[in-house]
């Protein structure tokens, strides 16, 4: 791709580093872009802002590859559109997915805007996903490495996004990525992948939410309505979460076996049920703001659905009777309102939307 320029999101991780190497070998003029979206996380060892350490690693890789690296500051937009939304959703009892929001509202649109200013023809990221152009438009597919596939987080992307986006590592396995990085003497070849909230990392969710959401004690009841304890607030917990005192549940009744959160009611009551109980399972869910990757999509009966990243693929049928809903072939556990359901036909991503029950 001689004379074509691509702006590549470089996080300091091994995936985006190898993506940069691949693009350069393919003949692209590569510009690395480090995104500063959240500056409050600290490195536990150095005490530095985590983003600064990550950017230093991205700089090292850019130097090895002899490509420029720019810093894109999207922190204001990220706080307003992702973090503030998170707090609002949790305060209403939902369990939002910030990674989907981040890709849809921040990473892809804002990076493309920056790319155009820099005269780039494409943007690229180190996601494990694939894009294919067909007679009907652009299609999104799962990454070849099924243990790392990130197509779930990309389910809100549009045709316009896919038309100018490249996923250089979508056809590769993680082990190949690390081997390539090691052969090219990348200092991050064995660096662990990021976990937790997009650009924030792994945090104690209760402490994080506690910054803005005050505790509001309520009753814990079993499926028969018997009060079995107290909780500090429904917003701290999610459907399917294991009940235990270490998480803040105050139990006044011994619960034999494993119990889980089955329902969060608007009157600040949490309903719990024992493992395997029908109350923990749903056969049908509603889909808020169903989004199709390809607007020309025709509703098909035999689809598979994920209700979490890398979760099990559940067979079922998408229905439209006014609003969209999905009927599972078999009842499914741990369905949380606010999370995303993503639909697949084989390896192709059909689309997805926010879960309601």
Active site residues per annotation: 102, 198
Residue 161 Cα distances to 16, 70, 215, 229, angstroms = 18, 21, 40, 48
Dist. CA 169–CA 177, nearest whole Å: 8
| 155, 158, 161, 163 alpha-carbon torsion, rounded to 10° | 110
* Selection from 276, 274, 281, 291 nearest residue 329 by Cα: 281
SS3 assignment for 268-303: CCEEEEECCCHHHEEEEEEEEEEEECCCCCCCCCCE
Query: What is the four-CA torsion angle of 279, 197, 96, 300, rounded to 10 degrees?
Result: -80
- CA distances 58 to 18, 68, 76, Å, are 11, 10, 22
Q: What are phi and psi of 192, to 5 degrees?
A: -70, 150
Distance CA 157, CA 71 (A): 23
Cβ-count burial of 117 within 10 angstroms (0-12 exposed, 13-18 middle, 19+ buried)?
exposed
């Amino acid at each position: 791709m001689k004379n074509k320029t691509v702006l590549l999101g470089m996080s300091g991780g091994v995936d985006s580093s190898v993506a940069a190497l691949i693009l350069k070998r393919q003949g692209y003029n590569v510009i690395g872009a480090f995104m500063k979206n959240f500056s409050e996380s600290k490195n536990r060892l150095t005490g530095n802002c985590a983003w600064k350490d990550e950017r230093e690693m991205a700089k090292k890789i850019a130097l090895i590859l002899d490509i420029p690296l720019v810093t894109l500051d999207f922190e204001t937009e990220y706080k307003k559109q992702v973090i503030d939304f998170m707090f609002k959703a949790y305060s209403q009892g939902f369990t939002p997915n910030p990674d989907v929001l981040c890709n849809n509202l921040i990473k892809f649109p804002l990076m493309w805007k920056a790319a155009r200013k820099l005269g780039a023809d494409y943007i690229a990221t180190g996601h494990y996903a694939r894009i294919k152009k067909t007679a009907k438009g652009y299609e999104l597919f799962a990454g070849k490495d099924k243990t790392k596939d990130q197509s779930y987080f990309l389910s809100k992307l549009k045709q316009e996004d896919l038309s100018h986006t490249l996923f250089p590592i979508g056809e590769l396995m993680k082990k190949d990525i690390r081997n390539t990085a090691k052969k090219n003497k990348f200092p991050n070849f064995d660096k662990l992948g990021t976990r937790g909230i997009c650009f924030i990392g792994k945090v104690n969710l209760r402490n994080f939410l506690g910054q803005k959401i005050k505790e509001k004690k309520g009753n814990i009841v079993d499926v028969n309505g018997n009060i079995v304890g107290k909780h500090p607030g429904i917003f701290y917990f999610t459907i399917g979460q294991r009940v235990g005192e270490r998480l803040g549940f105050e139990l006044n009744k011994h619960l034999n076996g494993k119990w889980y959160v089955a329902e969060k009611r608007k009157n600040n009551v949490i309903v719990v049920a024992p493992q395997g109980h029908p109350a923990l399972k749903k056969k049908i869910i509603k889909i808020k703001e169903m989004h199709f990757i390809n607007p020309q999509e025709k509703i098909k009966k035999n689809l598979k659905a994920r209700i979490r990243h890398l979760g099990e693929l559940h067979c079922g049928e998408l229905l439209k009777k006014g609003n969209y809903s999905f009927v599972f072939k078999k009842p499914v556990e741990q369905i949380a309102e606010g999370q995303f359901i993503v639909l697949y036909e084989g390896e192709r991503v059909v689309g997805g939307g926010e879960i309601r029950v």
